[in-house]
Each structure stands twice: as C-alpha cells, then as structure tokens.
Amino acid sequence: MRTGLLSPIRRTVLSMTALATVAGCWGDVVEPRRDLLVQLESPNGNEGAAVIEVVGPGLGEVAAVAGQSFTYVSGDTTRVVILLDSAGPIEFTMRLTGLTYPGAAVLQVADSADNLRSLGGYRARVTAGRAAPR
C-alpha cells in the first residue's frame, strides 16, 4: 500500500526536477563571437589613409591588415583611422559579439600623397571573416 501512495509523490518530484533542469537551459544565452572584415571600396584604386566609422552593438578590438590603425570608441560607435606607408587597399578586422551586423560609413580618404579625396563613390563593406594573408 505504501508504494501506491509514494508513486504520485515520486512522479511530482521527478516532474519538478525535469522542469527545473529544462528551465535552467534558457538562463544565460552566449552571444556568438566572430571576426568581421571591413574594406574600403575605392573608385580610385589604392589609397594612403582612411577614416571609417562603424556603428553597432558588440564591437570589439580592431586590427589593421596593413599599416597602422587608431581607434576612438564612444558607446556603440567605433571610429577607425588606417594609415598606410605606401598606397594599398584599406582594410581592417574587427571582433563582433552578437548577431547584429554593424553599419559602416567612410568619413575621409587620402591618396598616397596625403591629399584628401572627394567621398563620391566610396563605400565601406563589412563581411564575415578575416583578410587573406598578403
């Protein structure tokens, strides 16, 4: 007779344990981390320097593919300055935590002689992945 009385209690305890285990699965969601490649698309070919602003949540460390990079971060906005020793493609990698891709805008471009260019036709392209080694 005792086993008949404990059976509903055991079922209740097992059900509550299973529910607590499943509920714990939704607690902390881990945001994915990935590298993004930001490239300057230039109507004039190779350039000497550029200022590109990247806006979005979860932006992290920046590394120039070539040359030097300087960054300024304010909230969800990261401004990146890339300086090359000789004219070449302007590109950098950036760490992203989260699912939302950032937006990017070209703020300034200079040619190999440090002359500022008109911004017509320039675009910053953001893609997943790292730059190919040079």
Domain ranges of the chain: 33-128
pLDDT of residue 126: 96
pLDDT at 130: 74
Higher-pLDDT residue of 24 and 18 is 18
Which H, E and C letters describe the chain, residue by residue? CHHHHHHHHHHHHHHHHHHHHHHHCCCCCCCCEEEEEEEEECCCCCEEEEEEEEECCCEEEEEECCCEEEEEEECCEEEEEEEEEEEECCEEEEEEECCCCCEEEEEEEECCCCCECCCCCCEEEEEECCCCCC
Dump pLDDT digits (tens) for 61-102.
999 999 999 999 999 999 999 999 999 999 999 999 998 889
pLDDT reading at 2 higher than 60: no
CATH topology of domain 33-128: Immunoglobulin-like (2.60.40)
Q: Given this model, what pLDDT does residue 31 score?
A: 74
Q: What is the pTM of this model?
A: 0.75
